[in-house]
């Protein structure tokens, strides 16, 4: 699981650089949460090994990355449905769109 977290953290850090240490820690927290959320949504059978789960989570790399980035970018704007400041309007996509293609495990 750490390898996936570190890979996504490195990719997003490159994309968002430069990041402060506090931002890096916050981004890491968002990635961990995204991994947990995808893992819960996949609802793996109890007989799955950690290796099987990690291999499956790798297939959802883009969902995890997108969800973590979404949550990172929304920090400080939790629950906002709209924002208007000095003529700038912001509208956020639905967070669930980050989870498109992530279904409960069947097999």
Cβ pair 42, 105 in contact under 8 A: yes
Cα–Cα dist 107/59, whole Å: 16
Q: What is the pTM of this model?
A: 0.86
DSSP string, 11-79: HHHHHH-S--HHHHHHHHHHHHHHHHHHHHHHT--TT--HHHHHHHHHHTHHHHHHHHHHHHHTTT-TT
Q: Is the pLDDT of residue 80 over 80?
A: no
Q: Is the pLDDT of residue 79 over 70?
A: no
* pLDDT at site 75: 77
Mean pLDDT of the chain: 90
Residue holding tokens 């980035």? 69
* Pairing verdict, β 88-90 and 83-85: antiparallel
Which range, of 7-21, 29-43, 48-62, 72-86, averages the lowest pLDDT? 72-86
Cβ pair 100, 51 in contact under 8 A: no
């Amino acid at each position: 699981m750490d390898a996936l977290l570190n890979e996504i953290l490195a990719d997003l850090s490159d994309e968002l650089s430069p990041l402060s240490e506090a931002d890096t820690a916050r981004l890491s927290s968002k990635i961990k949460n995204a991994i947990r959320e995808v893992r819960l949504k996949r609802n793996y059978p109890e007989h799955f090994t950690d290796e099987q789960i990690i291999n499956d989570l790798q297939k959802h790399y883009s969902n995890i990355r997108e969800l973590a980035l979404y949550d990172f970018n929304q920090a400080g704007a939790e629950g906002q449905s709209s924002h208007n400041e000095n003529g700038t309007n912001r509208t956020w996509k639905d967070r669930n769109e980050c989870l498109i293609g992530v279904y409960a495990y069947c097999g």
